[in-house]
Amino acid sequence: MTLTIPPGSRFVACLLLAAALGACSKQEETAAGASAGAPSAQAGAEAAPAPAPAPAVAAKVQGMGAEELRELATRALRENRMYAPAGDNAMEYYLALRDKLPDDATVASALTDLMPYTVIAAEQAVNREQFDEAQRLVGLIEKADAGNPALPRIRQSISSGQQAVAKRSEAEAARARAEAEARQVAERQRIAQQQAAEAEAARRLAEQQEAARLAAEREAAARREAEQREAAARQAAAQQQSRPATTQQAPAPRPLRPISMPAPRYPPDALRAGTSGEVLVEFTVGTSGEVTDVRVVRSNPPRVFDREAMNAVRRWKYEPIDAPVTTRRTLAFTPNE
Protein backbone atom coordinates (compact mmCIF):
# COMPACT_ATOMS: atom_id res chain seq x y z
CA MET A 1 0.00 0.00 0.00
CA THR A 2 1.42 3.41 -1.01
CA LEU A 3 0.93 6.37 1.27
CA THR A 4 0.59 9.53 -0.85
CA ILE A 5 0.52 12.96 0.73
CA PRO A 6 -2.05 15.08 -1.12
CA PRO A 7 -0.98 18.53 -2.29
CA GLY A 8 -1.28 21.21 0.34
CA SER A 9 -1.88 18.68 3.12
CA ARG A 10 0.75 19.84 5.57
CA PHE A 11 -1.16 18.24 8.42
CA VAL A 12 -0.48 14.63 7.31
CA ALA A 13 3.17 15.36 6.68
CA CYS A 14 3.51 16.92 10.12
CA LEU A 15 1.96 13.85 11.71
CA LEU A 16 4.45 11.56 9.98
CA LEU A 17 7.39 13.78 10.89
CA ALA A 18 6.24 14.11 14.49
CA ALA A 19 6.09 10.33 14.76
CA ALA A 20 9.72 10.26 13.66
CA LEU A 21 10.93 12.48 16.51
CA GLY A 22 11.10 9.56 18.93
CA ALA A 23 13.56 7.75 16.67
CA CYS A 24 15.82 10.70 15.82
CA SER A 25 18.57 9.59 18.17
CA LYS A 26 18.60 6.11 16.64
CA GLN A 27 18.78 7.56 13.14
CA GLU A 28 21.66 9.83 14.14
CA GLU A 29 23.57 6.86 15.57
CA THR A 30 23.12 5.03 12.25
CA ALA A 31 24.46 8.02 10.37
CA ALA A 32 27.33 8.30 12.84
CA GLY A 33 28.38 4.74 12.05
CA ALA A 34 28.78 5.64 8.39
CA SER A 35 31.30 8.35 9.23
CA ALA A 36 33.18 6.63 12.09
CA GLY A 37 36.80 7.65 12.27
CA ALA A 38 36.20 10.92 10.43
CA PRO A 39 37.81 13.20 13.11
CA SER A 40 41.20 11.52 12.93
CA ALA A 41 41.08 11.45 9.16
CA GLN A 42 40.20 15.16 9.03
CA ALA A 43 42.97 16.00 11.50
CA GLY A 44 45.55 14.02 9.57
CA ALA A 45 44.58 15.48 6.19
CA GLU A 46 44.25 19.17 7.05
CA ALA A 47 47.07 20.16 4.72
CA ALA A 48 45.89 17.88 1.86
CA PRO A 49 43.67 19.30 -0.90
CA ALA A 50 39.96 18.84 -0.16
CA PRO A 51 38.26 16.18 -2.32
CA ALA A 52 35.42 17.17 -4.57
CA PRO A 53 32.12 17.07 -2.64
CA ALA A 54 29.88 14.08 -3.37
CA PRO A 55 26.48 14.77 -4.98
CA ALA A 56 23.80 15.54 -2.41
CA VAL A 57 21.51 12.88 -3.93
CA ALA A 58 22.95 9.47 -4.76
CA ALA A 59 23.15 8.63 -8.45
CA LYS A 60 21.00 5.54 -8.02
CA VAL A 61 18.27 7.69 -6.44
CA GLN A 62 18.45 10.22 -9.26
CA GLY A 63 17.91 7.41 -11.75
CA MET A 64 14.61 6.26 -10.23
CA GLY A 65 11.18 7.10 -11.63
CA ALA A 66 8.71 9.51 -10.02
CA GLU A 67 6.31 6.85 -8.73
CA GLU A 68 9.12 4.76 -7.22
CA LEU A 69 10.61 7.85 -5.59
CA ARG A 70 7.25 8.84 -4.10
CA GLU A 71 6.70 5.33 -2.71
CA LEU A 72 10.23 5.10 -1.27
CA ALA A 73 9.94 8.59 0.26
CA THR A 74 6.68 7.67 1.97
CA ARG A 75 8.16 4.43 3.28
CA ALA A 76 11.25 6.25 4.53
CA LEU A 77 9.06 8.65 6.50
CA ARG A 78 7.12 5.77 8.01
CA GLU A 79 10.37 4.12 9.07
CA ASN A 80 11.83 7.38 10.42
CA ARG A 81 14.61 7.54 7.81
CA MET A 82 14.26 11.25 7.33
CA TYR A 83 17.84 12.14 6.36
CA ALA A 84 19.89 8.95 6.91
CA PRO A 85 21.32 6.59 5.90
CA ALA A 86 22.91 8.06 2.80
CA GLY A 87 21.15 6.97 -0.38
CA ASP A 88 18.05 5.67 1.41
CA ASN A 89 16.30 8.53 3.19
CA ALA A 90 13.27 10.76 2.67
CA MET A 91 15.28 13.92 1.97
CA GLU A 92 17.12 12.40 -0.99
CA TYR A 93 13.98 10.79 -2.39
CA TYR A 94 12.02 14.07 -2.21
CA LEU A 95 14.93 16.06 -3.66
CA ALA A 96 15.16 13.67 -6.63
CA LEU A 97 11.37 13.79 -6.96
CA ARG A 98 11.44 17.61 -6.98
CA ASP A 99 13.98 17.51 -9.84
CA LYS A 100 11.42 15.47 -11.80
CA LEU A 101 8.30 17.31 -10.57
CA PRO A 102 9.43 20.87 -9.74
CA ASP A 103 5.87 22.17 -9.38
CA ASP A 104 4.60 19.41 -7.05
CA ALA A 105 3.36 21.18 -3.90
CA THR A 106 3.40 17.94 -1.90
CA VAL A 107 7.13 17.48 -2.51
CA ALA A 108 7.88 21.10 -1.62
CA SER A 109 5.84 20.79 1.57
CA ALA A 110 7.60 17.58 2.58
CA LEU A 111 11.05 19.13 2.02
CA THR A 112 10.04 22.19 4.07
CA ASP A 113 8.93 19.96 6.95
CA LEU A 114 12.10 17.80 6.77
CA MET A 115 14.45 20.79 6.72
CA PRO A 116 14.52 21.57 10.50
CA TYR A 117 15.37 17.98 11.36
CA THR A 118 18.16 17.87 8.79
CA VAL A 119 19.60 21.13 10.14
CA ILE A 120 19.52 19.80 13.71
CA ALA A 121 21.11 16.54 12.58
CA ALA A 122 23.93 18.46 10.82
CA GLU A 123 24.62 20.51 13.96
CA GLN A 124 24.65 17.37 16.11
CA ALA A 125 27.07 15.67 13.69
CA VAL A 126 29.40 18.67 14.05
CA ASN A 127 29.16 18.44 17.85
CA ARG A 128 30.08 14.75 17.62
CA GLU A 129 32.99 15.69 15.31
CA GLN A 130 31.51 13.55 12.52
CA PHE A 131 32.42 16.05 9.84
CA ASP A 132 31.85 13.80 6.82
CA GLU A 133 28.26 13.21 7.92
CA ALA A 134 27.82 16.93 8.63
CA GLN A 135 29.07 17.78 5.12
CA ARG A 136 26.63 15.28 3.61
CA LEU A 137 23.73 16.84 5.49
CA VAL A 138 24.88 20.32 4.47
CA GLY A 139 24.71 19.12 0.87
CA LEU A 140 21.10 18.03 1.38
CA ILE A 141 20.19 21.34 3.02
CA GLU A 142 21.88 23.37 0.27
CA LYS A 143 20.15 21.40 -2.50
CA ALA A 144 16.78 21.76 -0.76
CA ASP A 145 17.25 25.49 0.01
CA ALA A 146 20.51 27.17 -1.02
CA GLY A 147 19.54 30.31 0.90
CA ASN A 148 18.86 28.56 4.20
CA PRO A 149 20.22 30.87 6.95
CA ALA A 150 21.62 27.90 8.88
CA LEU A 151 24.11 26.99 6.13
CA PRO A 152 26.82 29.63 6.89
CA ARG A 153 26.68 28.82 10.60
CA ILE A 154 26.98 25.05 10.07
CA ARG A 155 29.80 25.47 7.53
CA GLN A 156 31.68 27.70 9.98
CA SER A 157 31.09 25.16 12.75
CA ILE A 158 32.49 22.39 10.54
CA SER A 159 35.59 24.43 9.68
CA SER A 160 36.17 25.45 13.30
CA GLY A 161 35.60 21.88 14.50
CA GLN A 162 38.06 20.44 11.99
CA GLN A 163 40.68 22.98 13.02
CA ALA A 164 40.11 22.20 16.70
CA VAL A 165 40.42 18.47 16.06
CA ALA A 166 43.61 19.02 14.06
CA LYS A 167 45.12 21.14 16.84
CA ARG A 168 44.08 18.59 19.45
CA SER A 169 45.62 15.81 17.41
CA GLU A 170 48.84 17.80 17.06
CA ALA A 171 48.89 18.49 20.79
CA GLU A 172 48.27 14.82 21.59
CA ALA A 173 51.01 13.76 19.17
CA ALA A 174 53.43 16.27 20.72
CA ARG A 175 52.54 15.05 24.20
CA ALA A 176 53.03 11.43 23.12
CA ARG A 177 56.43 12.29 21.63
CA ALA A 178 57.46 14.12 24.79
CA GLU A 179 56.37 11.19 26.96
CA ALA A 180 58.25 8.75 24.73
CA GLU A 181 61.39 10.89 24.88
CA ALA A 182 61.09 11.16 28.65
CA ARG A 183 60.78 7.38 28.92
CA GLN A 184 63.84 6.94 26.72
CA VAL A 185 65.86 9.38 28.83
CA ALA A 186 64.77 7.64 32.03
CA GLU A 187 65.67 4.24 30.56
CA ARG A 188 69.10 5.48 29.48
CA GLN A 189 69.71 6.90 32.94
CA ARG A 190 68.63 3.63 34.55
CA ILE A 191 70.96 1.61 32.32
CA ALA A 192 73.85 4.00 32.97
CA GLN A 193 73.29 3.78 36.74
CA GLN A 194 73.10 0.00 36.58
CA GLN A 195 76.31 -0.21 34.57
CA ALA A 196 78.08 2.14 36.98
CA ALA A 197 76.92 0.05 39.95
CA GLU A 198 78.10 -3.16 38.29
CA ALA A 199 81.48 -1.63 37.47
CA GLU A 200 81.89 -0.42 41.06
CA ALA A 201 80.96 -3.86 42.42
CA ALA A 202 83.48 -5.52 40.08
CA ARG A 203 86.19 -3.08 41.16
CA ARG A 204 85.55 -3.73 44.86
CA LEU A 205 85.57 -7.49 44.31
CA ALA A 206 88.90 -7.27 42.48
CA GLU A 207 90.37 -5.20 45.30
CA GLN A 208 89.16 -7.71 47.90
CA GLN A 209 90.60 -10.64 45.95
CA GLU A 210 93.95 -8.88 45.51
CA ALA A 211 94.08 -7.99 49.21
CA ALA A 212 93.30 -11.59 50.17
CA ARG A 213 96.04 -12.89 47.86
CA LEU A 214 98.64 -10.49 49.26
CA ALA A 215 97.65 -11.37 52.82
CA ALA A 216 97.99 -15.09 52.08
CA GLU A 217 101.44 -14.55 50.55
CA ARG A 218 102.59 -12.50 53.54
CA GLU A 219 101.30 -15.13 55.94
CA ALA A 220 103.07 -17.93 54.07
CA ALA A 221 106.33 -15.95 53.94
CA ALA A 222 106.14 -15.20 57.68
CA ARG A 223 105.46 -18.88 58.44
CA ARG A 224 108.44 -20.01 56.36
CA GLU A 225 110.69 -17.45 58.01
CA ALA A 226 109.58 -18.53 61.49
CA GLU A 227 110.13 -22.19 60.67
CA GLN A 228 113.56 -21.45 59.28
CA ARG A 229 114.52 -19.50 62.42
CA GLU A 230 113.18 -22.30 64.58
CA ALA A 231 115.08 -24.89 62.60
CA ALA A 232 118.27 -22.85 62.81
CA ALA A 233 117.85 -22.50 66.58
CA ARG A 234 117.29 -26.23 67.04
CA GLN A 235 120.26 -27.00 64.85
CA ALA A 236 122.49 -24.64 66.85
CA ALA A 237 121.29 -26.14 70.12
CA ALA A 238 121.90 -29.65 68.87
CA GLN A 239 125.40 -28.72 67.76
CA GLN A 240 126.08 -27.13 71.10
CA GLN A 241 124.93 -30.23 72.96
CA SER A 242 126.80 -32.66 70.73
CA ARG A 243 130.07 -30.79 70.82
CA PRO A 244 132.62 -33.03 72.70
CA ALA A 245 134.84 -31.78 75.48
CA THR A 246 137.90 -32.44 73.41
CA THR A 247 138.42 -30.85 70.09
CA GLN A 248 136.50 -32.99 67.62
CA GLN A 249 134.99 -32.12 64.27
CA ALA A 250 131.18 -32.25 64.24
CA PRO A 251 129.65 -34.82 61.89
CA ALA A 252 128.23 -33.49 58.62
CA PRO A 253 124.40 -33.31 58.40
CA ARG A 254 122.74 -36.27 56.75
CA PRO A 255 121.68 -35.73 53.12
CA LEU A 256 118.01 -35.88 52.12
CA ARG A 257 117.02 -39.46 51.28
CA PRO A 258 113.62 -39.81 49.59
CA ILE A 259 111.35 -42.64 50.65
CA SER A 260 108.45 -41.94 48.29
CA MET A 261 108.31 -39.52 45.37
CA PRO A 262 105.08 -40.16 43.37
CA ALA A 263 105.07 -38.56 39.94
CA PRO A 264 102.69 -35.66 39.30
CA ARG A 265 99.46 -36.21 37.39
CA TYR A 266 99.50 -34.88 33.84
CA PRO A 267 96.78 -32.21 33.35
CA PRO A 268 94.22 -33.62 30.86
CA ASP A 269 94.00 -30.42 28.80
CA ALA A 270 97.78 -30.23 28.46
CA LEU A 271 97.99 -33.93 27.64
CA ARG A 272 95.37 -33.61 24.89
CA ALA A 273 97.17 -30.57 23.50
CA GLY A 274 100.55 -32.31 23.66
CA THR A 275 101.94 -29.53 25.85
CA SER A 276 105.21 -30.15 27.71
CA GLY A 277 106.97 -28.06 30.32
CA GLU A 278 108.67 -27.94 33.70
CA VAL A 279 108.11 -26.45 37.14
CA LEU A 280 110.77 -25.39 39.67
CA VAL A 281 109.35 -26.03 43.16
CA GLU A 282 110.75 -24.94 46.53
CA PHE A 283 109.72 -26.83 49.66
CA THR A 284 110.82 -27.63 53.21
CA VAL A 285 111.48 -31.13 54.56
CA GLY A 286 110.77 -31.41 58.27
CA THR A 287 112.63 -33.56 60.77
CA SER A 288 110.02 -36.31 60.32
CA GLY A 289 110.55 -36.34 56.56
CA GLU A 290 107.20 -34.68 55.74
CA VAL A 291 107.12 -31.97 53.03
CA THR A 292 105.70 -28.53 53.92
CA ASP A 293 105.60 -24.99 52.52
CA VAL A 294 105.50 -25.95 48.87
CA ARG A 295 105.59 -23.08 46.41
CA VAL A 296 106.32 -22.59 42.71
CA VAL A 297 109.45 -20.60 41.98
CA ARG A 298 109.25 -20.74 38.19
CA SER A 299 107.20 -22.59 35.58
CA ASN A 300 107.21 -22.91 31.81
CA PRO A 301 104.62 -22.49 30.44
CA PRO A 302 103.20 -20.43 33.31
CA ARG A 303 100.40 -21.93 35.49
CA VAL A 304 99.78 -24.94 33.23
CA PHE A 305 101.48 -27.55 35.48
CA ASP A 306 101.80 -25.57 38.75
CA ARG A 307 98.93 -27.18 40.64
CA GLU A 308 99.79 -30.79 39.75
CA ALA A 309 103.48 -30.18 40.53
CA MET A 310 102.67 -28.79 44.01
CA ASN A 311 100.16 -31.58 44.73
CA ALA A 312 102.79 -34.20 43.84
CA VAL A 313 105.56 -32.64 45.98
CA ARG A 314 103.24 -32.46 49.00
CA ARG A 315 102.92 -36.24 48.82
CA TRP A 316 106.69 -36.83 48.87
CA LYS A 317 108.25 -38.49 51.92
CA TYR A 318 111.88 -38.41 53.09
CA GLU A 319 113.86 -40.16 55.80
CA PRO A 320 113.85 -38.30 59.13
CA ILE A 321 116.59 -35.68 59.48
CA ASP A 322 118.08 -33.73 62.34
CA ALA A 323 116.81 -30.31 61.25
CA PRO A 324 114.34 -28.98 58.62
CA VAL A 325 115.87 -28.37 55.22
CA THR A 326 114.51 -26.13 52.47
CA THR A 327 115.38 -27.26 48.97
CA ARG A 328 114.28 -26.99 45.33
CA ARG A 329 113.41 -29.55 42.66
CA THR A 330 112.47 -29.29 38.99
CA LEU A 331 109.58 -31.43 37.82
CA ALA A 332 109.40 -32.08 34.08
CA PHE A 333 106.20 -32.83 32.17
CA THR A 334 106.56 -34.63 28.86
CA PRO A 335 103.47 -36.07 27.15
CA ASN A 336 105.16 -39.19 25.71
CA GLU A 337 106.50 -40.33 29.04
- Gap between the Cα atoms of 196 and 198, Å rounded: 5
Instruction: Summarize pLDDT for 153-175 with one digit per residue, the tens.
Output: 999 999 999 999 999 999 999 99
Q: Is there a single domain that holds both residue 22 and residue 165?
A: yes
DSSP per residue, 113-144: HHHHHHHHHHHHHHHTT-HHHHHHHHHHHHHH
- Mean pLDDT of all residues in 215-226: 88
Question: Considering only 8-12, 105-109, 198-202, 227-231, which range has the smallest mean pLDDT?
Answer: 8-12
pLDDT tens, 308-317? Answer: 999 999 999 9
Q: How many domains does the chain have?
A: 2
At residue 245, does pLDDT exceed 80?
Answer: no
pLDDT at 131 over 90: yes
Residue 28 maps to a domain: yes
Note down the domain range covering 293. Answer: 258-333
Query: What is the average pLDDT score of the chain?
Result: 84
17 with 159, same domain? yes
Note the pTM of the prediction, 2 decimals: 0.45
Strands (E), the chain: 258-260, 277-285, 291-300, 317-318, 325-333
> Is residue 71 situated within a structural domain?
yes
Is there a single domain that holds both residue 167 and residue 303? no
